[in-house]
Amino acid sequence: MLAKPLLKSAASLIAIIAFTAACASAPAPTTAVTADAAPTAAQAQAYVEAAERELAAFSEVENRTAWSFETNINYDTEWLLQRVATEGTEMRVRLASGAGRFAGVELPADTRRKVDLLRLSLVLPAPQREGAAAELAEITTGLSSAYSTGRIDYQGAQVSLDDLETWMGTERNPARLQEMWTKWHAISPPMADDYARMVEIANEGARDLGFDNVGQMWLSNYDMPAAEMEAEVQRLWGQMQPFYEQLHCYARARLNAHYGDAVQPETGPIRADILGNMWAQDWQALMPIMRPPGGRPTYDTTQLLTRARLTPVTMTEVAERFYTSMGMAELPDTFWERSMLTRPRDREVVCHASAWDLDNREDIRVKQCIQINAEHFQTIHHELGHNYYQRAYMDQPFLYKNGAHDGFHEAIGDFIALNITPEYLAQIGLLQRNRIPAASADTSLLMEQALSKIAFLPFALTMDQWRWQVFDGRTTPAEYNADWWALRLHNQGIAPPAPRPADAFDPGAKYHIPNNVPYLRYFLSYVLQFQFYEAACRQAGWEGPLHRCTVYGNREVGARFNAMLEMGASRPWPDALEAFTGTRQMDGGAMVRYFTPLMSYLQEQNRGQQCGW
């Protein structure tokens, strides 16, 4: 996950306060247009230049303050974050509002792009009225803190979410799974009223900027009108929906065979807590139950990592070597000095993995409580993708220091993680070549990937569809939980393990809801990562099955890849996509081709089953 705002370690709090005060007192861009004068292209150019200088100066303060909070949650860091968040929101609202004056002016393409980026620079815009930004900052910081400090009583101990996530991947006792799931979801009901108030304030701010609501504002950030983007999302989902329905049918039958009708019936939705993940967004932990007959694994990645005696630091070094093998520079020394790669024992932190660029240059870091297992091995490859993207576009103007769109940023590292194939593990010395699975094991290898990649798609869709409905008023606070589960049933075919209490606020039990991280980026990244992967393998001249390809060590692919990364957000995303893949349209076709052999297997296994829910 990319941290936005991008964040540092506990630098001197006095320095942070002093720098923050200095930025807050800096004058606004001096090119404001008077009410009785028609704005000009020259004024627009001067406005965006001044805005970029102001944003660049303030962003480092935001980033270092937020890093301090996320790596040391306490009263003081929360207070500092609220103050900086308030000032940052007020500044961006002011700059976005000023940029709106140039909406009808004929501008050069570069100036027009920067004006539009300014208008869309806020995830949650506050109204310009007195006190609104401060109230919004207090609510959002409180929601984030409530989630990250959540603990439950389980088996006689106070446990955190990272423990629960690990246990839910290995526990098969349905009563214990239900207990863990139910207790974790009980942390979020206190968030509901604050969340509803946050929606009210942010929607008011969106209207001030010319949008109907926050959801429309989010959807407008993709170089096309919001309505067209929403239709594009449905088109992409339609390409993979038949595959998900077959995977759901197969998984339900296997779970029924394992647990029996009392836990998982043969028909209808799947019980959410038995899918190996707190949010039923990744089913890979169920591979022992889902594995095709005769597809016994010849290796276990977690065991390989453990036997190699990897530590959080050395596992990160292994991931770094993938990027350097493609010709990219090593991470700076400060990355290793300042990153947080393990959970500290002496303080509360946000353990959710994220990548950070604190100074818009070389102070790049990862914050991840790394455990030595296959999932975290993939995650660290993913997070470094953000860092290498950040470094690649660091010479762009400030407003272009970002991904071509937010899905690009998430797809970069996931494309690299797709290269974690048996061949790659052999090349880096973790797997003996005589242990590389034969072609007969391909169905099993694809099943493991599908339980992660295909299973995720409808969950990702649900996360933002629910918020679009909340922001546009179709879902009221009284219907928050009911509509959440209606969407999860419709898209995913899953249901809670038991009826939910009247005060439940289950969306709040997922990090990205209380932390207000738009989720469409992840859905789009799952489409793009396979497009990037297929294009890279084609460039490398790979001739075997697509799912066995790795471009580890291929500097020619690395040079073309980095050329796309260096563009940042300077061009519309189709230009960036074309630079690496040769096509200007996002397309699930590469994902379909990757999984085609497994689709045939699933259809055969599901013959005679009553699929759907």
The set of catalytic residues is 383, 512
Both tokens assigned to 562? 């980095």
**By the 8 A CB rule, do 59 and 6 touch?**
yes
Give CA–CA dist 544/562, Å, rounded.
Answer: 25
Burial of 63 (0-12, 13-18, 19+ CB in 10 A): buried
Q: What is the DSSP letter of 506?
A: G
Alpha carbon separation from 388 to 2, 259, 336, 361, 367 (Å, rounded)? 12, 44, 15, 11, 15
Give CA–CA dist 7/359, Å, rounded.
Answer: 8
The two beta strands, 270-271 and 494-495, are: parallel
Give CA–CA dist 161/452, Å, rounded.
Answer: 20
Residues shown for the chain: 613
Give CA–CA dist 467/474, Å, rounded.
Answer: 10
Helices (DSSP H) in 101-131: which residue ranges? 109-119
195: region left, alpha or beta (phi > 0 left; psi from -120 to 50 alpha): alpha
541: region left, alpha or beta (phi > 0 left; psi from -120 to 50 alpha): left
3-state secondary structure of 356: strand
Looking at residue 187, its amino acid is I
Give CA–CA dist 81/383, Å, rounded.
Answer: 23
Nearest to 518 by CA among 128, 120, 185, 95: 120
Give CA–CA dist 474/483, Å, rounded.
Answer: 9
